[in-house]
A and B are shown apart, each in its own frame.
Chain A
Amino acid sequence: MSADLAGWLPIRFFWRHDQPVVDWALMGTCRLADAFFDETVDRVFRNPFRKLFRRETSADELLNWAAMSQGLQPRGFIFHMSRCGSTLLSQMFGALPRCRVVSEPHALFGIMRGQFRKASVTPEQRASWLKAMITALGHPANATETEYFVKFDSWHCFHMRLVHDMFPGVARIFVIRDPVAVLASHMNYPAGWITPGVFPPALCGLTLETSRRMAREEYYARIIGLICNAAADLTEQGLCIPIDYSQLPALVYYLLPRIFRMTISEDESELMRIRTMKHSKLPDRQFQGYSEEKHRKAMPGIYQAAARWIEPAYQRLRAAALDLNSLQNHDRELCMKQGGQHFGRI
């Protein structure tokens, strides 16, 4: 008989003795209000009871639970090239009480990476685990949560087709930004996933050793370039819609009703506008606006690395990106009225 996992959410998917294991935490009615899912888990674990009374199940139990339980159907999927405004975008969605936003949960990381750690994992297994994991993460914290969004890690873009096949009717966007700014951000504060050894080196045709020896800017640029290239291919196949940082947050007021088919009220628009005034990842701080600081701090090498490894794919994405100027007057005016303060101008 399947375990009753009501109130529990999967927080890790990992391997022990060649068997996939799912680690669950009792989250109860805790809303996923933090910028990232794992930060909410950290917050929940401040309660020692929740940290102590975790449970582990097999992957089959995850499949059973997803099949028998009633989670929310995803409303939209957010992919991105990293350091590009996707966190603020997801936080704007999360500012609405009816939106459940699961942002870059580690549990998905384990499944996405599975094929590189376990050659025996079949595409069918990975697909079924992925679908079950997204379903299990979609259990609402309360009756108010009715809309469900998932923000993936940037390199999960390589698995976007799989996500599409599992959830074919769900809209997918890919957020982009000037490659030099993205690269500069990683040079100053590298993301955990981009560390050699964490990111599967085989994905970029490197060995662990060569990736560790390479200049950081080149290594980061190669990975981000590959992510953008994959996204550009998927865009050209009609599988996702690129969104440029320079059009945020205004474009959110088009995205929600027109792409994700979710009508928003005036009050909800206001909630999102208020959220844009705070820093995306440090919401207790006011957003100070985009400065040139990142560029100034950047090493000259990043311009060359960005141009060589990222720029070609970025330009393909940019050419296909949604553009405020190409929207119908009514939509454009609404966007400018609600969110006309672009990041660069706040």
Chain B
Amino acid sequence: MQLYVLGKKAGKSVEPANEDSGSRDPFNSFRRMVWGSQTLQERLSGFENEDALIAECVAAGREYGFAFSAKDVDDALRQGERSWKERWIG
């Protein structure tokens, strides 16, 4: 089990979907774990409310030794939303 420093370094892009940068960002590492865990996918995929999902991610992350904040998850969510909406200019 790995333990990471809470939060992220100032100015660091939150692109947690990038598999190459997984080890440098606690939430990204957690996300990689979720990709490979049916148990975690089932635990997290039922949330229709974003705030509830974010809170559950933080709680699950803590259980597995990943220290990231609700803001980290929210930033990742917004980043994903933006990249999809702005796909035509990408």
Contact (A51, B35) CB under 8 Å given A23-B17, A110-B90, A198-B88: no
Contacts of A112 in B (CB 8 A): none
Interface residues of B in 26-75 (CB under 8 A from A): 31, 34-36, 41, 44-50, 53, 57, 73
Given A12-B87, A23-B83, A192-B88, A48 contacting B50 (CB threshold 8 A): yes
- Say whether A41 faces chain B, with CB atoms less than 8 Å apart: yes
* Minimal beta-carbon separation of A61 from chain B (angstroms): 8
Residue in A14, A49, A192, A195 whose CB lies within 8 Å of B45:
A49
Say how far B30's CB is from chain A's closest CB, in angstroms.
10
The secondary structure that dominates the B interface is helix
Asked whether, in the complex, the Cβ of A49 is within 8 Å of the Cβ of B19, the reply is: no
Q: Which residues on A sit within 8 Å (CB–CB) of B31?
A: 52-53, 55
Are B49 and A48 in contact, with the CB atoms below 8 A?
A: yes
CB-nearest residue of chain A to B81: A51
Whether the Cβ atoms of A55 and B17 lie closer than 8 Å is yes
Quick one: which of A4, A12, A57 contacts B90, CB cutoff 8 A?
Answer: A12
| B17 touching A48, Cβ below 8 Å | no
**Minimum CB–CB distance for A135 against chain B, Å:** 20
Are the C-beta atoms of A47 and B48 separated by less than 8 Å?
yes
Q: Which residue of B lies closest to A25 (CB)?
A: B84
Among A4, A11, A21, A58, the one with the most B-chain Cβ atoms within 10 Å of its Cβ is A21
Give the number of residues in B that approach A within 8 Å (Cβ atoms).
30
The 8 A CB mask of A116-150 against B (1 = contact, 0 = none) is: 00000000000000000000000000000000000
- Also in contact, A50 and B45, with CB within 8 A (given A3-B19, A192-B88): yes
Chain A residue nearest to B27 (CB atoms) is A52
Measured between alpha carbons, how far is A110 from B89 in the docked complex, in Å?
10
A45 within 8 A of B: yes
Instruction: Please indicate the chain A residues that have their CB under 8 angstroms from the CB of B81 in the complex.
Output: 45, 51
- In this complex, what residue of A is CB-closest to B46? A49
**In contact, B77 and A51 (Cβ under 8 angstroms):** yes
In the bound assembly, the distance between CA atoms of A45 and B87 in angstroms comes to: 15
Q: B39 to chain A: closest CB distance in Å?
A: 14
Q: A49-B53, A50-B45 are in contact. Are A55 and B87 (CB under 8 A)?
A: no
B20: chain A residues within 8 A (beta carbon):
58
Any chain B CB within 8 A of the CB of A337? no
Q: Are A57 and B19 in contact (CB under 8 A)?
A: yes
- A261 close to chain B: CB less than 8 A: no
Q: Identify which of B36, B76, B89 contacts A52 (C-beta below 8 A).
A: B76
Known: A12-B84, A12-B90. A49 touches B17 (CB 8 A): no
Tell me whether B83 and A12 are in contact (CB under 8 A): yes
- A55 and B49 CA atoms in complex are apart in Å by 21
Give chain B's interface residues, CB within 8 Å of chain A: 15, 17-20, 31, 34-36, 41, 44-50, 53, 57, 73, 76-77, 80-81, 83-84, 87-90
Q: Nearest 3 pairs between A and B by C-beta? A: A49-B45, A14-B90, A48-B50
